[in-house]
Amino acid sequence: MGKITARDVARAFGISKTTISFIVNGKSAEKGISPVLTEKVLGYMKEHGYRPNHFAKSLSTGKSMTIGLMVEKISDYFFSQLVYHLEELANRHGYQIIFCSTENNGARTRELIRLFRNQGVDGFIITPPEGIQAEIRSLQDDQLPFVLFDRYLPGIDADHVVLDNLESTRHAVQYLVERGARHIGYVELDSEQSQMRDRKAGYLQALGAIAGNPRIMRVPFNNGHDDTVTKIAAFIKHNPELDALFFATNYLAMSGMKAMFGLGIRIPQDMAVVSFDDHIVFDTYLPTITAVAQPIAVMAENLFGILISKIKQGPGQPPTRCVIPARLVIRDSTGPPV
Amino acid sequence: MGKITARDVARAFGISKTTISFIVNGKSAEKGISPVLTEKVLGYMKEHGYRPNHFAKSLSTGKSMTIGLMVEKISDYFFSQLVYHLEELANRHGYQIIFCSTENNGARTRELIRLFRNQGVDGFIITPPEGIQAEIRSLQDDQLPFVLFDRYLPGIDADHVVLDNLESTRHAVQYLVERGARHIGYVELDSEQSQMRDRKAGYLQALGAIAGNPRIMRVPFNNGHDDTVTKIAAFIKHNPELDALFFATNYLAMSGMKAMFGLGIRIPQDMAVVSFDDHIVFDTYLPTITAVAQPIAVMAENLFGILISKIKQGPGQPPTRCVIPARLVIRDSTGPPV
DNA sequence: CTGAAAGCGCTTACAG
DNA sequence: CTGAAAGCGCTTACAG
């Protein structure tokens, strides 16, 4: 029905708004309001569809019960899965999520952080692009709760949840070595972000152990599928000795698969393949693809848990740095298991 | 840094909050406030980081500048793409998005609609599950702007944006017929929602034209990948005459591909394949898959456009029913083009 | 051109 | 056990 306010129900019972407020917020017992009255008021509200005005409430409490989520791109498989888990956690704790995609664009992200601050979110979860150190510091100065995700920022000491990119990549590349690969190529994004740097470091470390020669190809960020296919095909042709390929993201691997199909390369006979970031299709098409799987549900839980405790406990807590191990899911693209 | 309010700014200049409010909202000219003052005040605000309190503003205007988005599942490829486009449109128009996944669950959706109403969203975009007619009617009664998406609801006359499911499926199946298929199976979700009903109707219609025998298999909603693979394999074995398969969703097609790979069926030689809902992997793996592509960007634009005009123009407008044609993207799984 | 004042609908010391 | 009152920070007739 129309809007009915706390004052209306107060009038209906001939009592004050204060009492109504206490009842709505479940403080009847604490404030010594009789159970009978409480029941009656609650019943009346239900019947008349009373909804507390969210803005009024937030205005007086200063809490919005919403958290601002900034992912790189909501339509990306990995991020959309993460968001799905976060949503569930948020709802369970009575929070709403407002979100946006940063597009990995510093200027855009700065603007978005400003917007979210205006909106009065209670906390932030941020996948930070490069170059937003100043905004992050400003969040810290203003003691706004936030946690960084997927990558960390040089020079910033803040709560974050990231995968153990280095070790999980090192381990995967080492697995390729154990399976007999000697000339392992590495296809990555043209990015200096921590997650990409760490994955590459893992690759180089595993290669170093066998005194192997790095062969690295970089694909421009946001490059189109078709062009990426072309570029990877060229890379493979220029490095005919390659017997294995590690892809730093799942979309790169998909482009890479297409490139190899086009070249008539057989997987895993001619080329072993591992991709970072699992994807449902890696378990579907032929051959199935070995992948480094990020435990998305676990990451979401840590992210949310850290944020909530920051919101609840207030400032002054030392930052939590959460580094999560990945799992190597072995499939056909690396040949029969050792 | 801390909070600085309109009153602080007013005091700093020895003028009233009213004037400040006009300046902030760009009404200087209209209200005849001198450009000099306006500039000085704006400069001061920028320097001191003034942010209007969003709750106070919404409380007095009754507008929140946020729209509530309810999709079936944010992690689904199709919906995450849609959300990505909607986000861009919303931001461009100064709106924020709060979202949730309905999981196609009526009870959950009812609760979520209640939450969003409490939050005071200015409008809704809803992918409706079955059984929420009452809530939709209540939105209509309360004259809250909303538009339905992806499917419509029996008995509800409301704004909606849906794909032309029947015609696009009919056309795709007819294409299979033209390519020589005679025994065309149909794999769909166990759902009575309009989009599924219409797709099936399109299949039956195309089949009717050649007096073909329908062979339909239904997969339970939310069934696991592996079990779906098993079920589809069984379906194929029980219908050895099948020479083509139409999948009503892309995830079904992925499971179906795996099933066929497992059975050693060659595509398209032994079996032609078409899937509803394009997906990047359909253009990647071998063979590439012919698909009915939903023009997601176009759908998002229509959705948002209709919603905004409802928000702006107020109640009393007749509902807009927008039915969008799909595009058949022909690839290798249907053999060489006719 | 500008300001005093009321109002949006809550919460929460404070007083009894 | 309960209420009057102030306050949260805006907007917007209304008056001059």
pLDDT of residue B337: 74
Answer whether B1 touches A (CB < 8 Å): yes
Q: Which nucleotide has the shortest C1'-to-CA distance from A8?
A: C9
pLDDT band of A152, cuts 50, 70, 90? very high
Residue A168: half-sphere exposure toward Cβ, Cα within 13 Å: 28
Q: Looking at the predicted structure, is the pLDDT value of residue A1 above 50?
A: no
Answer whether B36 touches A (CB < 8 Å): no
Pick the CATH number of A6-52 from 1.10.260, 1.10.150, 1.10.8, 1.10.287: 1.10.260
State which residues of chain B have pLDDT below 50: 1
Is B75's CB within 8 Å of A59's CB? no
CB of A99 within 8 A of CB of B97? yes
User: Average pLDDT for residues A314-333, to the nearest whole number?
Assistant: 93
Q: Looking at the predicted structure, is the pLDDT value of residue A314 above 90?
A: no
Selected residue of A281, A283, A289, A329 to mutate for chain B interface (largest B Cβ count, 10 A): A281
Is B258's CB within 8 Å of A64's CB? no
pLDDT of residue B245: 98
Q: B61 φ, ψ to 5°? A: -90, -25
At the second CATH level, the architecture of B165-294+328-334 is: 3-Layer(aba) Sandwich (3.40)
Q: Looking at the predicted structure, is the pLDDT value of residue A83 above 90?
A: yes
Whether CB of B31 is under 7 Å from strand C: the answer is: yes
pLDDT of residue B2: 56
CB neighbours of residue B80 within 10 Å: 22
Whether CB of B17 is under 7 Å from strand D: the answer is: yes
User: Average pLDDT for residues A254-282, to the nearest whole number?
Assistant: 95
Q: Which of A79, A124, A133, A129 is nearest to A104 (CA)?
A: A129
Q: In chain B, what are the domain boundaries?
A: 6-52, 64-162+297-324, 165-294+328-334
Give the B window 294-333 contacts with A, CB below 8 Å. none
Whether CB of A3 is under 7 Å from strand C: the answer is: yes
**Structure confidence by residue, pLDDT tens digits, A103-124:** 999 999 999 998 898 888 999 9
Among B2, B53, B101, select the one facing A84 at the smallest CB separation: B101
Q: What is the mean pLDDT of chain A?
A: 93
pLDDT of residue A30: 82
Q: Looking at the predicted structure, is the pLDDT value of residue A153 above 60?
A: yes
Is A80's CB within 8 Å of B74's CB? yes
pLDDT band of A2, cuts 50, 70, 90? low
What is the spatial distance, in angstroms and rounded to an integer, between the CA atom of A4 and the C1' atom of C6? 20
pLDDT of residue A336: 86
pLDDT of residue B1: 41
Residue of chain A nearest B52, judged by CA positions:
A118
Q: Which of A148-152, A278-282, B288-292, B312-316 has the lowest mean pLDDT?
A: B312-316
Class of domain B64-162+297-324 (CATH, top level) = alpha beta
Q: Is A316 left (phi over 0), alpha (psi -120 to 50) or beta?
A: left
Contacts of B329 in chain A (CB under 8 A): none
Evaluate whether B64-162+297-324 and B165-294+328-334 have a shared fold: yes
Asked, as a colleague might, if the bond just before A325 is cis with ω within 30 of 0, I would say no
Token pair 């793996």 is found at B285
User: Average pLDDT for residues A287-297, to the nearest whole number?
Assistant: 96
pLDDT band of A213, cuts 50, 70, 90? very high
Domain A64-163+297-325 has CATH 3.40.50.880: no
**Structure confidence by residue, pLDDT tens digits, B172-200:** 999 999 999 999 999 999 999 999 999 99
pLDDT of residue A222: 87
